A and B are shown apart, each in its own frame.
Chain A
Amino acid sequence: MKKNPLFVLFLIVLVAIIAAFFVYPKNFGANVMPWRLGLDLIGGSHLVYNVDLSKVSGSDQDSVLNGLRDVIERRVNLFGVSEPQVFVAKSGNDSNLVVELAGIKDTAQAIQQIGETPLLDFREVEQNSSTSSLQDGTSTEFVQTNLTGRYITSAQLTFNPNTQAPQVSISFNDEGGKIFEMMTEKNVGKPLAIFLDGSLVEMPTVQEKISGGQAVITGRFTLNDAKTLVERFNAGALPAPITLISQQTISPTLGSDSLKKAIIAGITGTLIVMLFMLAYYRFFGIFAVVALLLYVFLTLGVFKIIPITLSLAGLAGFILTIGMAVDANILIFERIKEELKKGFSRTSAIEEGFRRAWPSIRDSNTSTIITAIILYFFTSSFVQGFALTLLIGVLVSMFSAITTTRLLLKVFVKDEPKV
């Protein structure tokens, strides 16, 4: 480092001080940018739904999944939780949809509403007997078609001009309109069945080919039924059926308790490490303590600015790196001790100590970096949080070891006058 070490050190300390204010969860830090905390720290629900794509052709699967995600996102937005997360997660042949609701109060109701979203589909009717009465379902066969709720663009509450009964008008998109046109053309004079959530709503007889992608569901709705149905259609009908296969709900009380305990553990751990460094390395220990403080604030600053959603596992990973961050200092100090024993002056012992400790610092972190990267790419969200904080922590600690500690020693350690 050719630049004035005092200046660079001043810069690092300044950045760390700003970071300290930035990461402090109250006042300035909270106003500029609040911390993003995981469900396990603020409470909430992590829901995993399996998507049944067996009735969707291979080429359409991606668009159906995206449509499904959008629909559920819209529904979930109605719950009023801040930043709900909805994403598709594929594992092997299974397609899953993950819904994360941070800070949700009533999970049971949320689950009900997500699942309740209407699943609409049209079915062709094949009647084997001569009776065509609606009640006589025994001889009626319903043939599933590919016209489903995924083609619906909007729904409206209308009233039957003759009976004034409430009914639901739906509009299909172009593709759906075409399918509907073909289907009605094929079935003129025959009934067409409309199914909602797997049960028959009505079975009107097709009078003529219907173009333009408009359909009306008359059913026997009460006004309220029709209204909710319209709301649900506008939020979107599910383009494919889903089933809840896993859920994880953590109460806000447990979450905040975990957060509090993790912070106390982090502070306790940091203090013990600092005391140890002072007790064992005495004068040099002071530098380790300062470097560790700078490390903590800088790393938290990096977490917040990326920003990383900090989960309990993530916090655990960070606390571990506090124990590892001083490793570099230990390696350097032990080397310096050896060089001093050989009779080097203090400044040249420091230079030599750094030079020879660096390969060990690099090597000792390599295996942890390998583990963290693999964990990040081959696991699911909870472990990923841990892997990410561990990785960032190790990288920042390597930076702080070769810059901060070195600068501190350069600026504050001078050769003793020769006696």
Chain B
Amino acid sequence: MNQRSNNFDFHSHMNIIGRKNIFLGISAVFIAAAVLAIAVLGFRQGIDFAGGTLWQFSIAKNTPSADSLESFFSASGGKSVENLIGATVSYDEANNNFIARLPTVSEPAHQELADALKEKYPSLEEASFQSIGPSVSSGLRKNAITAIIFVILGISLYVAFAFRKVYQPVSSWVYGLITLLTLFHDVVIPAGLLALLGHYARIEIDSNFVVALLVVMGFSVHDTIVVFDRIRENLLLDRGKSVFAELVNRSINQTMARSINTSLTLIFVLLAIYFVGPASLHYFVLTLLVGVTTGVYSSIFVASPLLVLWHNRKK
């Protein structure tokens, strides 16, 4: 590709546009891996979306292995207990909690299972019990899809509004398109990670996952708009004196500190929740963390290089 940009004078700035192919290449690799993970492995859907039961309990004394509990559930059957084949149990060592993932279990069946378990392990304490029927989960799934559609719509309208004026030398719809491409970039990478975790660590996606992705979308767009705004501001001041690529590089450097710092403060609080916060927020926060980090990278190393790429290609 075009290497002309290497010859520009970038003062003491970081030469991002000059190395754009490296940065875009890194992104391309991650995107390809994420898309592949999602397409091949798919997501492991939580009880929110697929229906089923999530049962969390602790056994303080004579703690059994997760496997033995798994076979207990699979073998159980009684008056009100239906077939529990496919039950999985995982053990969270940090909180000394067992998490059993079962098909939908009715309340009488829950009581029967709890009684049977308590007989075997008297120190059993139930921490939480969630059972979601198929009609509720299909409603939640529908809600999630509606929310995704409306957020994408709302954000696209906002992007169209933000770039409503005509700019030279790159027309405004290109800014908008690249903003949405960057948004896709920032969402696909954490989503791909969750697909991988679903396959290798049985991590499930739930409503929180969708919320995290939507929040990432919001952040991604504003990070990109900040850089593009500065490019447009500089274009107005500059009146065609500088070469486009150089002007873009200058704009990135001018906004870099604020782009990184605003995201960094968010990353700090996310890390705090991840490490000392409650376990149930773990993967919600992880999705956000990866998304926000990807967002910083893309606003600096992806969005503007794409803009320059577009500009150079026309010539």
Chain A: residues with CB nearer than 8 A to chain B?
Answer: 40, 48, 50, 91-92, 94, 96, 107-108, 111-112, 244-251, 253-254, 257-258, 261-262, 264-266, 268-270, 272-273, 276-277, 280, 312-313, 316, 319-320, 322-324, 326-327, 330-331, 334, 338, 359-360, 363-368, 370-371, 374-375, 378-380, 382-383, 386-387, 390
Taken together as a complex, chains A and B put the C-alpha atoms of A390 and B216 apart, in Å, by 13
A247–B130 touching, CB < 8 Å: yes
Among A272, A359, A367, A378, which residue has its beta carbon within 8 angstroms of that of B268? A272
Interface string of B250-292 (1 = CB under 8 A from A): 0000100110011011111111110111101100110010000
**Which single residue of chain A is at the shortest CB-CB distance from B254?**
A338
Q: Does B131 contact A (CB under 8 A)?
A: yes
Q: Does B242 contact A (CB under 8 A)?
A: no
- Chain B, interface SS category: helix
**Which single residue of chain A is at the shortest CB-CB distance from B223?**
A364
**Which single residue of chain B is at the shortest CB-CB distance from A258?**
B278
B128–A250 touching, CB < 8 Å: yes
A-B pairs, 5 with minimum CB distance: A269-B269, A269-B272, A245-B133, A265-B277, A323-B269
Q: Does B139 contact A (CB under 8 A)?
A: yes
Which of B111, B130, B131, B278 is most buried by chain A, counting CB atoms within 10 A of its CB?
Answer: B278
Q: Which residues of B contact A258 (CB under 8 A)?
A: 278, 280
Q: Which residues of A contact B271 (CB under 8 A)?
A: 269, 272
Least distance between B194 CB and chain A CB atoms (Å): 17
Least distance between B104 CB and chain A CB atoms (Å): 9
Q: Does B144 contact A (CB under 8 A)?
A: yes
A320–B269 touching, CB < 8 Å: yes
B281–A316 touching, CB < 8 Å: yes
B125–A370 touching, CB < 8 Å: no
| Size band of the interface chain B makes with A | 35 or more
B270–A323 touching, CB < 8 Å: yes
Least distance between B206 CB and chain A CB atoms (Å): 10
B261–A319 touching, CB < 8 Å: no
A276-B278 contact in complex given A363-B229, A378-B150, A379-B144, C-beta closer than 8 Å: no
Q: Does B89 contact A (CB under 8 A)?
A: no
A-B contact list, 23 entries, CB within 8 Å: A108-B107, A108-B110, A246-B130, A246-B136, A248-B131, A250-B127, A261-B277, A264-B277, A265-B275, A268-B276, A319-B277, A323-B268, A323-B269, A324-B266, A330-B261, A364-B262, A367-B217, A367-B221, A368-B222, A370-B218, A371-B155, A379-B144, A383-B207
A312-B278 contact in complex given A334-B257, A371-B155, C-beta closer than 8 Å: yes
Q: Which residues of B contact A375 (CB under 8 A)?
A: 147, 151, 211, 214
Among A250, A254, A264, A359, which residue has its beta carbon within 8 angstroms of that of B276? A264
Taken together as a complex, chains A and B put the C-alpha atoms of A393 and B276 apart, in Å, by 22
**Which single residue of chain A is at the shortest CB-CB distance from B110?**
A108
127-180 of chain B: CB within 8 A of chain A: 127-133, 135-136, 139-140, 142-144, 146-147, 150-151, 154-155, 158, 162
Least distance between B253 CB and chain A CB atoms (Å): 12
B151–A371 touching, CB < 8 Å: yes
B261–A280 touching, CB < 8 Å: yes
A247–B107 touching, CB < 8 Å: yes
* Apart from the given pairs A316-B284, A371-B215, 8 other A-B contacts in the complex at a CB distance below 8 Å: A269-B271, A272-B272, A324-B266, A330-B265, A331-B262, A364-B262, A379-B143, A379-B144
Interface string of B94-111 (1 = CB under 8 A from A): 000000000000110011
A319–B272 touching, CB < 8 Å: yes
A368–B219 touching, CB < 8 Å: yes
Among B125, B129, B154, B265, which residue has its beta carbon within 8 angstroms of that of A374? B154
Least distance between B13 CB and chain A CB atoms (Å): 14
Q: Does B5 contact A (CB under 8 A)?
A: no
Q: Which residues of B contact A378 (CB under 8 A)?
A: 143, 146-147, 150
B218–A368 touching, CB < 8 Å: yes
Taken together as a complex, chains A and B put the C-alpha atoms of A40 and B77 apart, in Å, by 30
A272–B269 touching, CB < 8 Å: yes
B269–A322 touching, CB < 8 Å: yes
A245-B214 contact in complex given A254-B127, A367-B221, C-beta closer than 8 Å: no
A320–B131 touching, CB < 8 Å: no
B276–A261 touching, CB < 8 Å: yes
Q: Which residues of B contact A40 (CB under 8 A)?
A: 280
**Which single residue of chain B is at the shortest CB-CB distance from A357?**
B258
**Which single residue of chain B is at the shortest CB-CB distance from A316?**
B281
B133–A246 touching, CB < 8 Å: yes
B267–A323 touching, CB < 8 Å: yes
Which of A91, A268, A367 is most buried by chain B, counting CB atoms within 10 A of its CB?
Answer: A367
Which of A108, A324, A363, A375 is most buried by chain B, counting CB atoms within 10 A of its CB?
Answer: A375
